[in-house]
Structure 1
Amino acid sequence: MSIQTYRASLLHFAAPTQSPKEDYVYIADGLLVTRNGKIEFIGEYKDNIHQYLDAKHHDYSGKLILPGFIDSHLHFPQTEMLASFGEQLLDWLTDYTFPVERKFENKEYASRIAKVFLKQLYRHGTTTGMVYSSVHKQAADALFEEAQNNEMLLIAGKVCMDRHCPDWLQDTAASAQQDTAQLIETWHNNGRLKYAITPRFAPTSTPEQLHALGELAQQYPDVYIQTHLSENHNEIAWVKELFPERKNYLDVYDHYNLLRKGAVFGHGIHLEQSEWQRLRETEAAIAFCPTSNLFLGSGLFDLAKAQQENVPVTLATDVGGGTSFSMLKTMSEAYKICQLKGNQIDPMQGLYLMTQGSAVTLDLDDKIGNLNPGTDADFVVLDPEFDELTALRFEHHRTPQDLIFALSMLADDRAVFATYIAGKPVYQAQNNTQEEVHNVA
Structure 2
Amino acid sequence: MRAYLASAIGVACTAALVLPSVSVASSAPLATAVSAPAPAGEALPGSTQSLPLTPLAPRSERSASPAATPQGLAERDVQPFSLVGVVWDDASAELDGTVQVRTRAAGRGTWSAWQHVETHNSEHAADPGTAERDSGKVRGSTAPLWVGASDGVEVRVQSASGGPSENPAQHESPAQHENAAPSERAVRAPLPAGLRLELVDPGAPPPAGSSDAADAGRSSLATELPALTRAETEADAGLVAARPYIGPRPRIITRKGWGADERMRERKLGYTETVKAAFVHHSATGNNYSCGQASSVLRSIYRYHVKSSGWRDFGYNFAVDKCGNIYEGRAGGVAKPVLGAHTLGFNTNSTGIAVIGTYTSSNPPAAAVNAIARITAWKLGLHGANPRARTTLKSGGGNLYKKGANVRLHVISGHRDGFATECPGGRLYNKLGTARSSSARLQGR
- TM > 0.5: no
TM bucket (normalised to shorter chain) is: under 0.3
- TM-score, with length taken from structure 2: 0.26
- TM-score, with length taken from structure 1: 0.26
